[in-house]
Amino acid sequence: FPWVCSALMAFARHFPASAALLLLYPCLCMPHGGSYSLDTALDRLYRKNVVEGRGSLALDIGGTLTKALFVDSSPSQGVLHAAAAKLTKSVGESFGARKSAERRRKTYVGLSLQVPALNATLHFFSFETRYIEDCLDFVRNYAGDQRREKLVVRATGGGAFKFARRFQDDVGVLLDRRDEMACLVNGITFLMQNVPEEVFSVTSKMRSPIASPGEGLDFRKNYRKTDPSPFPYLLVNIGSGVSVLAVRGPGKTGFTRISGSSLGGSTFLGLACLLTGVTTFEEALELTRKGDVCKVDMLVGDLYSGDYGAMGLDADVIAASFGKVVMQRSPDEAAAAVAAALNPYSGEEGAVDATRTDESLRAADPLEMPFQREDVALSLLRMVSNNIGQIAYLNARTSDIRKVVFGGSFLRGNPYTMASISAAVHFWSRGRMEALFVDHEGFAGALGAFLCDTPYKLGMDGSIFERED
């Protein structure tokens, strides 16, 4: 019996309570003798993390986005289970018909995932962290009023610390806080090991580090098989900022945060907001789809009137992001015209008004081109994507790891973003490395939080107490 007991506890440690309960169900049904009632203890453990009949919840509260994972492990689980559907609906209702609330809460039905390894179906949601009360409403609704004791929800990200008190005071939910990086690694490793049609490399026509999406990207995903031992790999997570982790094995001691960058998703969105007047990530991405990167960036060809052959730099390589702004002549007039063109509040969208600049100067310099908000948005996206691809490549070199996996909400499944990163990795590594992506790129942290060791230990007397680590 001691062996069974320790095996059970090992299971309980390695699987979330809800899944563990399902896995252990046959054991719990076995008649057994002993000094305490194991099923009662596990039942209490279960209640700590799961609302009966409504599955389990995990949160990843980042600087810009809050990602929520709803794990439906009920016998009647479906692609979008009734409980999840009800959650989604009720959140929508709590905001009425307000457009802004709709815009800041997303339900990713297409990403819902049946995971045999967990005997559960996962559903994904996101909220804008600046409107954290949207998420509080969601969790309040999830918790309902049927609970008998204080509900515990696993959470990670900086907001799990920052907003802990509001979750406790406003919603009556205790956040079981988990290390952000450990959760990310947990989540990505789990996806690589267990979910088919999840990890992919991309092919596109973008082999050079510049190209415009209008040219026909011809983007394709090439899915990889699941891999029981995906180590070592480099995890590059692009949220508000960027974290670079060297993952050499499973568990908390298997990885190190080796690098990062402050040029991440919020840099793209923040600058896009200021420069083009968009207010959401989706609007910013939408703009990029009509942009031309050659209008704003200074290319090698602009400097040399051709390739820089001696250094192997083709004419279409970006020499300086936003460099063409500086190549504009008559700076006062040009800047005024550009600012007017870019500022959506001036009532003048679109190209720079040619009549505003000195025609004789314009004629003297073929590089002076007007550009539009779309071009600016695209150059921003390229700047951030290329830079991350390069930093990823360099860190892969310094840590001697060749498998580079990109995650985080910056990607948003956007083909152009992934093609840019992939092209940058290909360019800098001279084709020796390949960028990998995952379909659930934004939710690795929440998934990892859900998959984390349970925070509770079962005492030999059946008591439950928190781990100290």
Give the per-residue contact string, 423-452, with a copy of itself (x = CB under 8 A; - = no): -----x------------------------
Nearest CB to a copy of itself, comparing residues 207 and 220: 207
**Contact assessment for residue 217 and residue 415, using Cβ atoms and an 8 Å cutoff:** yes
Give the per-residue contact string, 81-120, with a copy of itself (x = CB under 8 A; - = no): -------------------x--------------------
DSSP state of 82: H
Residues 351-370 that bind a copy of itself (CB under 8 A): 364-365, 367
Residues 181-200 that bind a copy of itself (CB under 8 A): 181
**Beta carbon of residue 260, minimum distance to a copy of itself (angstroms, whole number):** 8
Which member of 386, 417, 420, 454 binds a copy of itself (CB under 8 A)? 386
Specify the stretch interacting with a copy of itself by CB under 8 A; choose among 41-49, 105-113, 175-183, 200-208. Answer: 175-183
- Kindly list the distances between the CA atom of residue 243 and the CA atoms of 34, 181, 435, in Å, as whole numbers in the listed order: 48, 8, 16
* SS3 category, 312: coil
Site size for a copy of itself, by CB under 8 A? 88
**Beta carbon of residue 262, minimum distance to a copy of itself (angstroms, whole number):** 4
Strand partners, 202: 221
Which member of 28, 217, 394, 464 binds a copy of itself (CB under 8 A)? 394
**Beta carbon of residue 67, minimum distance to a copy of itself (angstroms, whole number):** 14
- Kindly list the distances between the CA atom of residue 300 and the CA atoms of 210, 217, 255, 342, in Å, as whole numbers in the listed order: 11, 22, 39, 25
Residue 390 contacts a copy of itself per CB under 8 A: yes
**Contact assessment for residue 449 and residue 59, using Cβ atoms and an 8 Å cutoff:** yes
Residue 420 contacts a copy of itself per CB under 8 A: no
- Kindly list the distances between the CA atom of residue 202 and the CA atoms of 104, 218, 224, 233, in Å, as whole numbers in the listed order: 29, 10, 11, 17
* φ, ψ at 209 (rounded to 5°): -70, 5
Residues 269-308 that bind a copy of itself (CB under 8 A): 269-271, 273-275, 277-280, 296-298, 300, 302-306, 308
Residue ranges of E strands in 39-149: 56-61, 65-72, 105-107, 113-115, 120-128
**Beta carbon of residue 129, minimum distance to a copy of itself (angstroms, whole number):** 8
**Contact assessment for residue 201 and residue 192, using Cβ atoms and an 8 Å cutoff:** no
